[in-house]
Chains A and B, each alone.
Chain A
């Protein structure tokens, strides 16, 4: 009996000890796993920060930043107004890029394309985009997005679907998922309202982008400028507006036009140099947009028609040049342009007069050497 008791006690102690050991081991394993996850997460975050810093460095070096002080300070001030607790920590920069897009990096750098900036009408629309991009940064959407893609990619590799894994890897560079975009919309909307902006302006920024995307047949996946993304953004903001009673607020049209004046012509020139004639025609043929530009803007419309060179475009370009000459008689580039038109139509005397007028107005213009060559060509005609 005594022996039996000792044996039972021994068995019980052994069971207890084994359970304790098992419990402790599982605890240790769990904590190791947590540590690993935390460590991996920190590594991922560090990698994203490094990537963002590299991107910043590259952009500053490669001449891609639009450096006008007034415009840059204005954009930063709007960002600070929307996210006052992150004052100057969410850093806005303008890219010399005519495509309608904006992007947020993991370190709080926001890149706003010149093309997009030129299409907006007022500060409230600008605040919509800035608030949206700021929300991506604050909610660490890049990290969530990358993790999801990594997981999907790993699953596909395990399944043996190599090509699919490559496709997913390519998506690393693309936009966020629908859920993350909706979250950014919601948060941006809340921030705009808090900053006192008229929230009814929010879908307009995306509507403009959609019109342009259609005009250029844009198929940039993942970016702002892809059709499905834009249609969803518009629907998402409209739904948010419907839910709120107090929707009026600050629009800031005058401040926007005044502070962004210098970049508007820069954007037209950029569109020409990228052969984006359709975009330029879309902007300047729109009477509402046209008033935002200086009186010599028809010259750029003429240039877009001349370079696009579709049926009837040459006449349209001629009329646009004439319009510019009537409005701003001392704007030299119109004379060069109309001179080329006359030369091609074999109206050599008119061409000569126009070229001479151009050289008189702008003898050191970058195109003066070409004009001298053309004058020499038609000298005896």
Chain B
């Protein structure tokens, strides 16, 4: 069966469009200050992401942003229910948990992941997240290629679930370079609903 040249062209264009659509996981860069504010899944939080970063409002759980690709720098803000937050370690959190207790569970979750199994916990301290009391973890780990990465994890518990804000980048150059952008994101984080404090 021979296809006419116009049909072939049409198929090629359609396929190209499909490929391009599949590749376009992240939304286009936008430099508009107003548009840098993002509302999280299920309207659980609002956060301002760096304006020139590419962002992805992925599933029903998180908002992710990166400037050059997740290998170079990554910010992820997520909301997970108490039931789902620590599913990988078969544990459940609750609204009455202290920040230090939530951090303990997060460390166990970090240890469960193959990538961060042997991560070194550099810091585990209380922190304020969106005006609420939470925790801040700083850890270092090696990627499968042997490159050293640094990760900061902020977490706060609420009535029905937990909020986590993660910043991760290679220790050499990138982490320091974009830490300022992340700090602004962290400061802009707001919980949309009232959270129960212990």
Contact = CB atoms under 8 A, between A and B. Distances in A.
Interface size class of B (residues with CB under 8 A): 20 to 34
A57 B144 CA distance: 11
A340 B96 CA distance: 12
Nearest to B96: A344
A163 to B, nearest CB: 24
B39 interface: no
B91 A275 contact: yes
Contacts of B111: 273-275
Contacts of A63: 118-120, 141-142
Contacts of A340: 98, 100
A261 interface: no
A273 B108 contact: yes
Interface in B71-118: 89, 91, 96, 98-101, 104-105, 107-108, 111-112, 117-118
B99 A64 contact: no
Nearest to B111: A274
B133 A373 contact: yes
A327 interface: no
A370 B107 CA distance: 16
Interface string B152-190: 000000000000000000000000000000000000000
A367 B119 CA distance: 19
Task: Give me the 5 closest cross-chain CB pairs, A-B, nearest first.
Answer: A275-B108, A64-B118, A62-B142, A370-B100, A373-B126
Interface of B: 89, 91, 96, 98-101, 104-105, 107-108, 111-112, 117-120, 124-126, 133, 141-142, 146, 198
23 contacts: A58-B146, A61-B142, A61-B146, A62-B141, A62-B142, A62-B146, A63-B118, A63-B119, A63-B120, A64-B117, A272-B104, A273-B108, A274-B112, A275-B89, A275-B105, A275-B112, A307-B101, A344-B96, A367-B100, A370-B99, A370-B100, A370-B125, A373-B99
